[in-house]
Chain A
Amino acid sequence: MSAAIAPSVPVGGAATAVRLIWRLSVRGMLRIARRPSLIIPTLIMPVFLLVSFSGSFSGLGGLQGYGTDNVYNWMTAYAVLQGVSFAGVGAAGMTAEDMENGFYDRLLLVPGGRLPLLLGPIGYSLLRSLIPTTMVLLVAYTLGSADVAGGVAGVAMVYLGAFGVATAFACLGLFAVFILKSMRALLAIQVPIFMITFLSIGQVPLSFQTGWLHAVSRINPITPVLTMMRQGFLGPVTWADSWPGLVALLALVGFFGIGAWVMLRRMAP
């Protein structure tokens, strides 16, 4: 693998860094293609979650205040969110694996500075997030007859949210990997990622939630992100439903990104 990266990367400059980021991103995608076991979290799980949530809870569409009578319109954004969460974890998994098998030591010797070692896996996470997002949208349209009232802008919001979440969770995963330096980091981040996505408006609106869940969901940054991603399925895209999600994504990416960068510099000054 190193032979595919190191010799073709010229020494020094921004061009080197950009090329290294691209090579690391593509290397991650090749990893998926070569490992059938990675197809399950990348492709099968998000589609299954879309179909099973929409199928099991299709009766919710009959409730006043749910926002749509076709539950696929509600669940699509949530299934995309779950899929791109796996993409974020995947970036961490690739880096942790490199550390365990010694390849990361060789990456540290590659010219181009440390930033590509952070942005490369994030790039992989972004590329990978295209797969579940596109697949879930296709299944929602074909199997679930989902209706994108928000048109192209509505679809764009789904992709924008997907990229933001994939980047944020990739940064969180890398933060953990740079501390633990092993695959154990994946276990450490799966629980918080599951919690933050689950304790939100993933399956029902905030007005349906009661007690502790309502309180948690209201302050969960994923809630405005889901509102932003989902708005195109429930009506036209509006700035009012978009900006809180964008702010939440920027905050998540900034917070976890800085954390990952600090830990990388601490691990490899």
Chain B
Amino acid sequence: MTAARADDQSADDPSAVGAGMEPPHRGSVLAQAVELSRRSIRTSFRNMAAFIPGLVFPLMLAAVYSAQFSRALALPGFPKVDSFLDFIVPASILQSVSFGATAAGAELALDIEGGFFDRLVSSPVARVTILIGRLAGSAVEALVKSIIVLIVFFVFGARVDGGVGAVIVLLVASVLLALAIGAVGLLLAIRTGSQEAVNATFPLVFVTLFVSSAFFPTELMTGWYQAVAQNNPITWIIDPLRRLVIEGWSWSDAGLAIGLPGALAVLTMAAAVLGLQRKMASR
């Protein structure tokens, strides 16, 4: 256990959490969720070694790609766009978000490994708030990262033709995707109780993002790779987001951009809650 982690646990002593939530009645569930969320959010922002690369790497990639793929804009089939920077806005945001999204699961696994989870479930805390608290950290981290990435893109001349509405959709979609990925991490943590197992999913997230339309249009890909990329859910999220950025506002694109990650988030969170219930029932 690292010093920061020990500090985190002492600062958020379960007895204190429990004391703040006693007696266990329905009205206190919100307070419990708020307390656990605060703990999770603090943990997210204390761990700068994990937070910073999630910002720097996507921005670095965007800087390099926009300086080396400008000729590609002339390719037949490439969407009409002012600069590669505009094209890559949604990908950079989602990439940044995906870097930290599995942290919710990893933190829960750490709680399980360290015994803090057992202390939480033996205290009068509503079970679901344990998951809500963890996901809140991922959601807030995703929102902050998305805002920072967007600001950097705007500083370097990127434009969002869909206006404020499109910016809001970008932010909401990134938070929903973080919740979806985070809930998968929670489910894995509940099932395995192993931080290593949860962290092992990160390459999968990386691969899923890369084999999509994130960095190049699928129309310009060929063969089996194109087929995989076109049927990748990340492509279904990025394409409408990109149209909002480079073509302008469209209700249907906004619906698609929010609907799919929203549906994924609901499904994966439901699976995480079921997983937790099963784990508790088996005790």
Contacts and interface: CB of A to CB of B under 8 A. Distances in A.
A204 B68 CA distance: 7
A213 B68 contact: yes
Contacts of B154: none
Interface in A189-241: 198-199, 203-204, 208-214
Interface residues of B, number: 28
A12 interface: no
A160 interface: no
A208 B64 contact: no
A59 B220 contact: yes
Given A51-B225, A63-B75, A56 B210 contact: yes
Interface residues of A, number: 24
Contacts, number: 67
A52 B68 contact: no
A40 interface: yes
B283 interface: no
A55 B207 CA distance: 12
A103 interface: no
Contacts of A213: 63-64, 67-68
Contacts of B226: 55
B77 interface: yes
A58 B70 CA distance: 15
Contact of A52 (B71, B210, B220): B210
Interface in B46-100: 60, 63-64, 67-72, 74-78
Interface string A49-71: 00110111111101100000000
A63 B68 contact: no
A213 B216 CA distance: 19
B172 to A, nearest CB: 27
B229 A55 contact: yes
B85 to A, nearest CB: 12
A62 B72 CA distance: 9
Contacts of B220: 58-59, 62
Interface string B196-217: 0000000100010011000111
A54 B76 CA distance: 18
Given A58-B221, A59-B221, A198-B64, A52 B211 contact: yes
A40 B203 contact: yes
Given A55-B229, A59-B216, A62-B75, A199 B70 contact: no
- The residue in B72, B78, B207 that gathers the most chain A C-beta atoms within 10 A of its C-beta is B72
Interface of A: 40, 48, 51-52, 54-60, 62-63, 198-199, 203-204, 208-214
22 contacts: A40-B203, A52-B207, A55-B211, A55-B225, A56-B221, A56-B229, A57-B216, A58-B220, A58-B222, A59-B77, A59-B78, A60-B72, A62-B75, A62-B76, A62-B220, A63-B71, A203-B68, A204-B69, A212-B67, A213-B63, A213-B67, A213-B68
